[in-house]
Amino acid sequence: MTNSIDEIAGADFILAIGTNTTETHPVIALQVKKAVRQGAKLAVIDPRVTKLAELADYHLQLNPGTDCALLNGLANVIIAEELWDKDFVAHRTEDFASFRQWVSGYTPQYVERVTGIPADVIYKLAREYAGAENAAILYTMGLTQHISGTANVHAVANLAMLCGQVGKKHSGVNPLRGQNNVQGACDMGALPDVLTGYQKVTSDEVRAKFARAWKVDTLPASAGLTVGEMMAGTQKGCIKAMYIVGENPVLSDANAGDVKEALQKLDFLVVQDIFLTETARLADVVLPAASFAEKEGTFTNTERRVQKVRKAIAPMGRARADWEIICLLAGAMGYTMNYQSPAEIMDEIASLTPSYGGISHARLEKGSLQWPCPNKDHPGTPVLHKEKFVRGRGKFHRAEYIPPQELPDQEYPLLLCTGRRLYHYHTGTMTLRTGALEKYYPGEYLDVNPIDARKWKLTPGCRVRVISRRGEVELVVRITDTIPPGMVFTSFHFPEVPINNLTNPAQDPIAKIPELKVCSVRLELL
């Protein structure tokens, strides 16, 4: 997030795109609801009628996967009607001239045809967004899990820059991250192309710095493989062994059937986790890890806030904290990792990572810090890009609309969208074992619109087989008009409903995010 969670309530206009916030980030949704109570306008862009959509002044139930066209349409109107922030664009951005030119093709009439949103709504929304004092944009996977994910994100940034809605309070471009430390995992360089703090592995200088600190002669210089590429590499036989820590790709990845097959091809698979997950079952060796309650450390939340995780109990049985296991393994492979505590590891992180430079466990004991926090006297940074963007000027990126890769046709006439439920989390490994959440929400449904229910002769509670080009699952039908006609929806929380056997692994070419939000399916009544 460019801004902080508590600033959302102070916005006068909130544009929420592809985020079912009340279920996926319930406590952030409290800020949105508060803003609405205080009179802010809320616009929700989502094909489904979410709780947030019910609260909204504008609910744009667009055709799935057409967000980019809609956002460009808004920018088009704002430019055509001279509503943009000329001062901000002149002083803080670049490539406006070309932006103006290519975005001119996104007339409200064209956008109406693509998105299904009436042109007059596009005009109205564009004027409201441009006229707002402080407008905040929120988005999640509904925007990014598309083959056009990167273009979608650029289109959002373009819109915010056009109206000068970045770099000040109560505004900004705010992706809400799904998992508790996904921000931190990225910051720490658990990515194939960057080390900590997004320092490029391809930079000689960066590698030299890390090699010196880590006391090794060289570090690999070319970017590694992403998850999707690893699985493909495994299929082809180039990847021989994998070490998977705390992830369950057999359920979470697109076209999960292939993932399982790929992992079975490995010569050697090590899985480190707190439960024997569907992925761990395939392993040659399973290492028992400590849960969050059993270790010290830090998590970084979606607003870049680094917070202290504290040990409350001892690890179960002979389980050990992940950091201790990694140290053991490194030692056995002839490389000494000798840390007394996670606090010591954080000191090393701070010494190598400018944005975490001022962060230490001792400081965090007194309160959290939002990065960038470059030195030990720096108070942290609640709002990013205040005086300038990290790269200097904000660039208007070309973000052309591309339709989803697989759309309904005669053979597979319905569009399947996947997401999350309030009572569950990710692949259900934790939430299905709480003694409470799974009692209240014990099984999954396929949400179907009444019109489609009539068409396919479905009754509430009947069982159907959902079939895509890649796989099939069985589900119980729930009939609800929160889903638009032509779409069906379910979650990926339940192992007995491995919905990602059906989803489309087609990826966004840059961010490599699979198109989990759109694929086509047909139903068979059981």
Partner 1 sequence: MSTITLTINGQQVTVPAGSTILKAAEKLGVFIPTLCHHPQLTAVASCRICVVEVTFKGRKKLVPACMTGAQDGMEVETESAAVVESRRTILELLLANHPQDCLTCGQNGDCRLQDYAFRYNVPGAGFSGERHAYKIEDDNPFIIRDMNKCILCGRCVRMCAEIQGDGVIDFAHRGFNTKISTAMDLPLSKSECVFCGNCAAVCPVGALQEKGLRSSARTWEVKKVKTICPYCGTGCSIELNVKDGRVVGVTSCDGEVNGPALCVKGRFGYGFIHHPDRLTTPLIKKNGRFVEASWEETISLVAEKLTGIKNDHGPDALAVLSSARCTNEENYLLQKFTRAVLGTNNIDHCARL
Task: With H, G, I as helix, E, B as strand and everything else as coil, classify residue 256.
Answer: helix
Max alpha carbon distance in the chain (Å)?
A: 67
Gap between the Cα atoms of 476 and 401, Å rounded = 35
Residue 11 Cβ vs partner 1, minimum distance, rounded to whole Å:
15
Cis before residue 372, ω within 30 degrees of 0?
Answer: yes
Name which position in 81, 212, 236, 285 contacts partner 1 (CB under 8 A): 285
| Angle at 188 (CA atoms; ends 283, 256), nearest 5 degrees | 35
Residue 422 Cβ vs partner 1, minimum distance, rounded to whole Å:
6
**With respect to partner 1, which residue has the nearer C-beta, 87 or 217?**
217
Per CB under 8 A, contacts with partner 1 among 368-427 are 368, 422-425
Q: Report DSSP state, residue 457.
A: T
Q: Which does 516 bind (CB under 5 to 8 A by kind): partner 1, ligand SF4, none?
A: partner 1
Is residue 504 involved in binding partner 1 (CB under 8 A)? no
Compute CA distances 410 → 1, 59, 485, 522, whole Å: 41, 29, 16, 9
Residue 423 Cβ vs partner 1, minimum distance, rounded to whole Å:
6
Contact string 439-458 vs partner 1 (x = CB under 8 A): xx------------------
Task: With H, G, I as helix, E, B as strand and everything else as coil, classify residue 44.
Answer: strand
Task: With H, G, I as helix, E, B as strand and everything else as coil, classify residue 43.
Answer: strand
- By beta carbon distance, the residue nearest ligand SF4 is 27
**With respect to ligand SF4, which residue has the nearer C-beta, 26 or 461?**
26
Gap between the Cα atoms of 77 and 121, Å rounded = 11
Contacts 24+ apart (CB under 8 A), 207-212: 209/352, 210/352
Per CB under 8 A, contacts with partner 1 among 311-330 are 311-314, 316-323, 325-330
Name which position in 26, 442, 443, 485 contacts ligand SF4 (CB under 6 A): 26
**With respect to partner 1, which residue has the nearer C-beta, 47 or 514?**
514
Is residue 424 involved in binding ligand SF4 (CB under 6 A)? no
Angle between helix 342-352 and 204-214 (nearest 10): 150
Contact string 207-226 vs partner 1 (x = CB under 8 A): ---x---x-x--xx-xxxxx
Gap between the Cα atoms of 214 and 207, Å rounded = 10
Name which position in 504, 514, 519, 520 contacts partner 1 (CB under 8 A): 514
Name which position in 71, 79, 201, 373 contacts partner 1 (CB under 8 A): 201
Pick the stretch among 22-30, 118-126, 307-315, 352-360 that binds ligand SF4 (CB under 6 A). 22-30
| Angle at 166 (CA atoms; ends 165, 170), nearest 5 degrees | 75
Count of residues near ligand SF4 by CB under 6 A: 3
Nearest to 165 by CA among 144, 135, 138, 185: 135
Residue 34 Cβ vs partner 1, minimum distance, rounded to whole Å:
6
**With respect to partner 1, which residue has the nearer C-beta, 47 or 380?**
380
Residue 322 Cβ vs partner 1, minimum distance, rounded to whole Å:
4
Q: Which does 49 bind (CB under 5 to 8 A by kind): ligand SF4, partner 1, none?
A: none
Q: Which does 302 bind (CB under 5 to 8 A by kind): partner 1, ligand SF4, none?
A: partner 1
Nearest to 81 by CA among 23, 141, 44, 131: 131
